[in-house]
Amino acid sequence: MSQLPEPEESTPLLKEDAASDSIIEDIVSYKSRWKSIRIMYFTMFLSSVGFSIVITSIWPYLQKIDDSVNTSFLGWVVAAYSLGQMVASPLFGLWSNRRPGREPLVCSILINIAGNILYAYVHLPPSHRKYFMLIARVFVGFGAGNVAVVRSYVAGATSLRERTSAMANMSACQALGFILGPALQAGLSFIGETGVSFEIIHLQLNMYTAPALLAVCLGIINILLVIIILREYRVDDHGRQINAINYTSEERVDLTSETTDTIDQIAVVTSNILFFVVLFIFAIFETISTPLSMDMFAWTRKQAVLYNGIILAAIGFESIIVFLLVKIISRKVGDRPVLLGGLIIIFFGFFVLLPWGNTYPKIQWSDLQNISTHGGLMPVSNSSLDPTGCPIEQIWCQFTPAIHIAQYLLSDILIGVGYPACNVMSYTLYSKIIGPKPQGVYMGWLTASGSGARTLGPVFVSHVYTNLGTRWTFGLICAIVFAAHILLGCMYRRLIAFSVRHGRIVE
């Protein structure tokens, strides 16, 4: 069957042979469908805001509420979000397959709200406050498992032609959330550490709790929008509605028999692996940027936070531009070439970080002596409270050339192009491979694989970088990306849309 012409998002969906009443009805349905999709964009935006709005203040907040905390526990608190999301994603995905999508959405947002409220009240328990913060972040991450529902809904409510554009828009909203989250935290920092206390409800409104409470307010708005506006839509690859929800009985009514064909499970597994790799290497990039810049460029903690914050914000805006360009490029060359091109750019983004030359990083002083970049010993002053350079415990700094600032910035630019292209193409292809079948569980597993990557990536890079250095770190990353190239090359012909595979649409 040849591919039918599809309208763009801004064009009403019309049927040439329909009566005028049917045309009006189709226009109303089309507008309602895209209103629902835009609610999903907003939900994705809030999910990323929920992660990033407190990320820069977690460490000082932990230190304030519990003197016994250390940096190792900080790692668990940061990872708690991804762990909660990894567990919740398949569960919410399964729920959305069997019931209307707004049910798991409302439930997940309520869990997210509860987690943020607990985060604002972790000062109340008399002891073990750090564990209450850990639980709070698990709840927030568990609520963020609704990303699987969002992706499943958007995949099921768009035609093949609309899908890439919708997925790119959703990724842009997610990236915008990661950018604005820290900005909102910074904007609320004027409240200060003391802030204002409301004794009646035992609430301390300060620079640490205000972002979480703002997330609560946004969550309430999100629930209202989901209940009032969201409607259930599923369309086939041509854009024809194939499924409806009877909201009186809340039962799903299937209007198609096209779902009897099988899904290519090998392509599904391949897509999950590729998505894992993409998220894994970006989690590594996020984790390594601050310690790498402090070690290589002798930046202070304050400089590293400021400069890397600016760089990450710039990469975020760069990513939004790439998301918008991907919609245009993929229409001309297809989804798989864009994914392959993104992986190639990521490979070179890490390849340029491989150290070379005869310049070595500055070594941090110790109380009595320091090791010079040429291997000799030299006395140093103990006057600085914020030592800069590579820690003396990292022996590899003595014989591994330093990474130049130009290498670092070029890597940032390349990864800022390659990562968003691979990110949106990974789950766009994934949704097309699954086809018209309910995608909740499948999207749950995809989200879980991404959450697992964001959990394991920081652990991997912290051990390899600290013990083995930059050569091994970026060499292993290049090897992982190269292996992803090989996998994509071997499975290239299988990564095709469900309807193309079964001959309903000619690619």
Q: Distances from the Cα of 472 to the Cαs of 353, 355, 475, in angstroms?
A: 11, 10, 5
Q: Which residues of 415-453 are buried (b: 16+ CB within 10 A; e: fewer)?
A: bbbbbbbbbbbbbbbbbbbbbbbbbbbbbbbbbbbbbbb
Query: CA–CA separation, 339 vs 151, rounded Å?
Result: 18
What DSSP assignment string belongs to 394-440?
-GGGGTSPPPPHHHHHHHHHHHHHHHHHHHHHHHHHHHHHHTTS--H
Say how many C-beta atoms besides its own lie within 10 A of residue 87's C-beta.
15
Q: What does R_g of the chain's alpha carbons equal in angstroms?
A: 25
pLDDT in tens, the chain (507 residues): 444 444 444 444 333 333 444 444 478 788 888 888 999 999 988 888 877 787 767 777 887 888 777 656 776 787 788 888 888 888 888 898 888 888 999 999 999 999 999 999 998 888 888 899 999 999 998 998 888 888 888 877 888 788 778 877 887 788 788 777 777 777 777 887 787 888 888 888 888 888 899 999 999 999 999 999 888 877 766 667 765 444 344 444 444 444 556 888 898 899 899 989 998 888 888 777 777 888 888 887 667 767 777 787 788 788 888 888 888 888 888 888 999 999 999 999 999 999 887 888 887 754 434 444 444 444 443 444 567 778 777 788 888 888 889 999 999 899 989 988 888 888 788 878 887 766 677 777 887 888 888 778 877 877 788 788 888 989 999 999 999 999 999 998 888 877 777 665 555
Q: Please name which of 437, 330, 338, 478 lies closest in space to residue 96, comparing C-alpha atoms.
A: 437
Tokens 């994914």 belong to residue: 339
Q: Could you tell me the fold of the domain covering 23-251?
A: Growth Hormone; Chain: A; (1.20.1250)
Q: Could you tell me the fold of the domain covering 261-359+401-507?
A: Growth Hormone; Chain: A; (1.20.1250)
Say how many C-beta atoms besides its own lie within 10 A of residue 486's C-beta.
9
Q: Which two tokens stand for residue 250?
A: 């809340």
Q: What is the pLDDT of residue 350?
A: 93
Query: CA–CA separation, 43 vs 221, rounded Å?
Result: 10
Query: CA–CA separation, 229 vs 42, rounded Å?
Result: 12
Burial group, residue 459, by CB count within 10 angstroms (0-12, 13-18, 19+): middle
Q: Which helix (H) or strand (E) holds 71?
A: helix 71-98
Q: Which two tokens stand for residue 407?
A: 């290498």
Q: What is the pLDDT of residue 248?
A: 40
Q: How far is CA 340 from the centre of its chain?
A: 20
User: Cα-Cα-Cα-Cα dihedral of 377, 381, 386, 390, to 10°?
Assistant: -10
Torsion sign, CA atoms 119, 123, 125, 130? positive
> Would you say the CATH fold of 261-359+401-507 matches that of 23-251?
yes
Which residue type occupies 74?
A: L
Torsion sign, CA atoms 380, 383, 385, 386? negative
According to DSSP, residue 390 is labeled: B
Q: What is the pLDDT of residue 380?
A: 41
Q: Which two tokens stand for residue 184?
A: 């909102």
Name the pairing type of β-strands 251-254 and 203-205.
unpaired
Locate the domains of the chain by residue range: 23-251, 261-359+401-507
Question: Whole-model pTM?
Answer: 0.71
